[in-house]
Structure 1
Amino acid sequence: MAVQHTLEVANDRCGDDGCSVRTGTVWTCIAHIIAAVIGSGVLSLAWSTAQLGWIAGPVSLLCFAIVTYVSAFLLSDCYRSPDSITGKRNHSYMDAVRLNLGRTQTWFCGLLQYLSLYGCGIAYVITSSTSLRSIQRANCYHKEGHKVPCEYGDTIYMLLFGGIEIVMSQIPDFHNMAWLSTVAALMSFCYSFIGLALGFAKVIENGEIKGSIGGVPADSLAQKLWLAFQALGDIAFSYPYSLILLEIQDTLKSPPPENQTMKKASMAAIFITTFFYLCCGCFGYAAFGNNTPGNLLTGFGFYEPYWLIDFANVCIVLHLVGGYQVYSQPVFAFVEKWFAVKFPNSGFLNNFYTFKLPLLPVFQLNPFRLCFRTAYVISTTGLAMLFPYFNQVLGVLGALGFWPLAVYFPVEMYFVQRKIGAWTRKWVVLQTFSIICLLVSLLALIGSIEGLISAKLS
């Protein structure tokens, strides 16, 4: 049974007028962050560590963790303006940039942010299909032996994941998906623990710690540099969540002030993720050395116990179902709000239909939401089929959005928010920090694009 009603655009969740109830806590915040951060990127960290070696690999992981926390610290103070405690809410990253840096930089920020969010959706489709295919391959290897090819295609698994996401994309917004982020975070812990345990067990079985200070050797210095730069891009992809930080912060209740809760949650979440990243990256490299696979749980360095590999890959897929939504909801919110404001009298855009099915909660369906979100999922699935290159895609996405979204905009907005003048001590320190991150981001982007082109041509 369906009942029609019209959504009042004026009842948008802007302002402190009591029209919406924010119930987020530090725990839901940590769940959102972990669902966003511990994703497909963690599985490539053993490969990244292998390319960089025993010193540069772990150091790079720690450095990116520090950069991510600094970025989160700066950006969380920009949720309210001009005062970070009682000022007007900035409900999204773009809102904060618009208020602090002006219209021109807002367009640049929006282009990068939504391109990065869209790219994450593509990467998650690729990763999910890889994990689903690996379940079938693990069972084949167990029955037929490790020498059998056991090759399977990706297309059917990408279509399956896309179908699931079409349904899940009808979740209205961030405020209604704390449960999904919690499930996703729990799944990420499961497969991270499994990857860590398998790597540790493999090291014990080998009786030695493999790897070297210089990392995996290459045919030439240029090739070594390309791979090292691509590894930096993969690490950059696996850490920052700045592009959705303010959207997550907008779910938090107050008091205490939202920026205090976000800083506390960021510290806890980054500590947890860094622990898992170091363990998975280092134990994976120690177990396989120069033969470290690009994806720790699907590259088949591990064959047995096959049921544990299957379970880990199921956890990955369940996590990616939630992770896809964490990165897609800001895009949905932006597009739907823009069209609703542009065409306030359109029933297609603003009419909602309430459905009540037996044994299920009341569900509201909007025609435009259904059509747009379905088309969005179909497009990410289609592009994933065209570029099914796990490590290379992660590297390009990470390098492209790392500096502007995780460093440049937070630093520049912090200057405006705190009225920090040029050539003061804090200005010099933060600008130096920004320039160093820019150089790293450029190197990672160059290496990752080269890797993507090489994979496409091979």
Structure 2
Amino acid sequence: MDTHHNPSAVEMGDTAVKNVDDDGRQKRTGTFLTASAHIITAVIGSGVLSLAWALAQLGWVAGTIVLVSFAVITYYTSTFLSDCYRGPDSITGTRNYSYMGVVRAYLGGRKVQLCGLAQYVNLVGVTIGYTITASISLVAIGRSNCYHEKGHKAKCSVSNYPYMASFGVVQIILSQIPNFHEISFLSIIAAVMSFSYASIGIGLAISSVASGNVGKTEVTGTVIGVDVTATEKVWKSFQAIGDMAFSYAFTTILIEIQDTLRSSPPENKVMKRATLAGVSTTTVFYILCGCLGYAAFGNHAPGDFLTDFGFYEPYWLVDFANACIALHLIGAYQVYAQPFFQFVESNCNKKWPQNNFINREYSTKVPLLGKFRVNLFRLVWRTCYVVMTTVVAMTFPFFNAILGLLGALSFWPLTVYFPVSMHMAQKKVQKYSRRWLALNLLLWVCLIVSCLAATGSIIGLIKSVKSYKPFKSLD
């Protein structure tokens, strides 16, 4: 029960007061470390392993410049967003618990609904995409063992549906963790996993380069007339730019992460430090993975060099890396699902405050884990949500192409437009001043990138749908 609606909580003395914040909500315990872990879990997805492919489309120079540019843009706009966590007076203003809340405080009107639509469609999309990606990694373990036994040319077909179902079962259990504040341990495990598989990918690429077994690379990437046609070069370059832009997109859940931080030191200062740590760490891994992967495979770099078998041996190391990806995605699913869970539940609480099914919590003791709070509505609705995402993932295994399109459509509003607009409102940036012109130029450049990436994703999606065969094993 929320102590904000329970006046007797304060009357119970110091203990109750110590357990609540200034607004009567549960006391926040997040730190720089937990916020950094949430960011790294959200940012370093298994997409890191596709950056070699992205670099192959753009080449050494453009690829590296684009990657670093998006790191800088994401960090820059994230600092704007973290300054807006509290109301217009950012030091003592009231807290905003969600991205929509921040937009409501600074911009209001129709923009609040647009922000909610972009954010929650993206969050739901990511959870479906993660179900597919986790199953692909688990299938890769089975295929890796098969290739090791029967040779690299063998036909190793493995169904990914049992893996998707197993992933769903694990998520049903983890989804009962009441809120974002209590999943720090998951994020820390997931962050360690993401470092593990990215490091293995880098290590395998280094050993490949050291052995002299390398592909042909170019300053401008794939060669027209040799590797690709002129049209393919254009569309694949757009897709690669989109991949790089979205590989940093964690602003969707930045406010929700910031809302887990203790009130002292000021949340925005800690969040900026955590963002810098998260984005810097990620960029180092991205550049290493992208550049070393491109050096190893050249212009024929696979879409994902662990699941698309850029490497076959040592098979046990490839297996371990793929297991790390699956474990990372178990935690990452929760990081993206919890804000959506919270959104639905808080709206239901407001609409039906007297309903016991929605609001009443029961305490139960779980062996080894101690006390656990159970809420019937949470149990039923979150279970239904996980079942729904799992069924969609099973039905549309090309959903990752759809995810590229969702990423393209939500990147501009959530990572660039809203943070920049709120910053201009907060700092009262004068129209047509130098700063105003520079920020508007940033908005336009990023909008063009989003549109080009969306076009590339649509073309990729059309190809995926054409070759789509429902309920087919991966081989």
In the alignment, the residues of structure 2 paired with residue 146 and residue 56 of structure 1 have an alpha-carbon distance, to the nearest angstrom, of 34
1:130 maps to which residue? 136
CA distance in 1, matches of 2:442, 2:128: 30
2:311 aligns to what SS in structure 1?
coil
Alignment partner of 1:104 is 2:128: no
- Quote the residue 2:80 is aligned against: 74
Q: CA deviation at 1:321?
A: 0.5
Is contact 2:3–2:24 with CA below 8 Å preserved after alignment? no
Aligned pair in 2 of structure 1 residues 11, 315: CA closer, same or farther (>3 Å)?
A: farther
Matched-pair contact (CA < 8 Å) for 1:7–1:351:
no
What is the Cα deviation at residue 420 of structure 1? 1.4
| Residues 14-163 of structure 1 mapped to structure 2, 5 A cutoff | 16-163=22-169
Q: Take 1:378 and 1:66, find their aligned partners in 2: how far apart are those partners?
A: 38
State yes or no: 1:274 paired with 2:253: no
User: Where does residue 3 of structure 1 map in the other structure?
Assistant: none
Q: Contact 1:48–1:235 (CA<8 Å) still a contact in 2?
A: yes
Q: Which ranges of structure 2 fall in alignment gaps of 5 or more residues?
A: 8-18, 468-475
> What is the TM-score of this pair, normalised by structure 2?
0.92
Q: Give SS of 2:307's match.
A: coil
User: How many angstroms does 1:72 deviate by?
Assistant: 0.8
CA shift in 2, pair 1:139/1:11, >3 Å: farther
> Where has structure 1 moved over 4 Å in runs of 4 or more?
6-9, 11-15
Residues 314-351 of structure 1: CA deviation (Å, up to 9, x unaligned):
11111100000001110000000000110111111011
1:356-398 alpha-carbon deviations (Å, 9 max, x no partner): 1333311111111111111111221122223323762442232
Q: Does the C-alpha gap of structure 1 residues 375 and 336 become closer, same or farther in structure 2, counting only changes over 3 Å? A: same
Q: CA deviation at 1:17?
A: 3.0
Segments of structure 1 that go 5 or more residues without pairing to the other structure are 1-5
Query: Which residue is equivalent to 2:313?
Result: 304
Q: Which residue of structure 2 aligns with residue 389 of structure 1?
A: 398
Find 1:361's aligned residue among 359, 370, 389. Answer: 370
Query: Secondary structure of the equivalent of 2:59?
Result: helix
Show the counterpart of 2:465: 456
CA contact (8 A) 2:171 2:330 kept: yes
Tell me the TM-score normalised to structure 1 length: 0.95
Distance 1:382 1:9, change over 3 A: farther
Distance 2:198 2:2 in 1: 42
Query: What SS does structure 2 have at the residue aligned with 1:295?
Result: coil
Q: How far is 1:11 from its partner? A: 6.1
Partner residue of 2:5?
10
The question of whether the paired residues in 1 share the 8 Å contact of 2:187 and 2:332 is answered with yes
| Aligned amino acid, residue 167 of structure 1 | I
Determine the structure 2 residue equivalent to 1:374: 383
Amino acid at match of 2:254: L
Q: Is the 8 A contact 1:233 1:394 kept in 2?
A: no
Residue 175 (str. 1) matches residue 170 (str. 2): no
2:173 partner letter: V
Q: In 1, distance between residues paired with 2:153 and 2:175?
A: 41
SS of 1:356's equivalent in the other structure is strand
After superposition, the Cα gap between the structure-2 partners of 1:429 and 1:8, relative to the gap in structure 1 and judged at 3 Å, is same
Classify the secondary structure of the residue corresponding to 1:304.
coil
- For residues 88 and 9 of structure 1, the distance between their equivalents in structure 2, rounded to whole angstroms, comes to 15
Hey, what does 2:190 align to over in structure 1? 184
1:355 counterpart letter in structure 2: T
Output the aligned Cα RMSD.
Answer: 1.8
In the alignment, the residues of structure 2 paired with residue 308 and residue 406 of structure 1 have an alpha-carbon distance, to the nearest angstrom, of 36
**Given residue 344 of structure 1, which amino acid in structure 2 is its aligned partner?**
P
CA contact (8 A) 1:237 1:394 kept: no
For 1:391 and 1:346, the matched residues in 2 are separated by 39
1:185-226 deviation line (CA, Å, top 9, x unaligned):
011110110011011111112255632123224543222211
| Aligned partner of 1:216 among 219, 222, 243 | 222
How many correspondences in the alignment? Answer: 453
Instruction: Tell me which of 343, 346, 363 is aligned to 1:334.
Output: 343
Measure, in 2, the Cα distance between the counterparts of 1:216 and 1:254.
50
1:256 — aligned with what?
Answer: 265
Provide the C-alpha distance between the structure 2 equivalents of 1:313 and 1:11, rounded to a whole number of angstroms: 47
Where 1:448 maps in the other structure, the secondary structure is helix
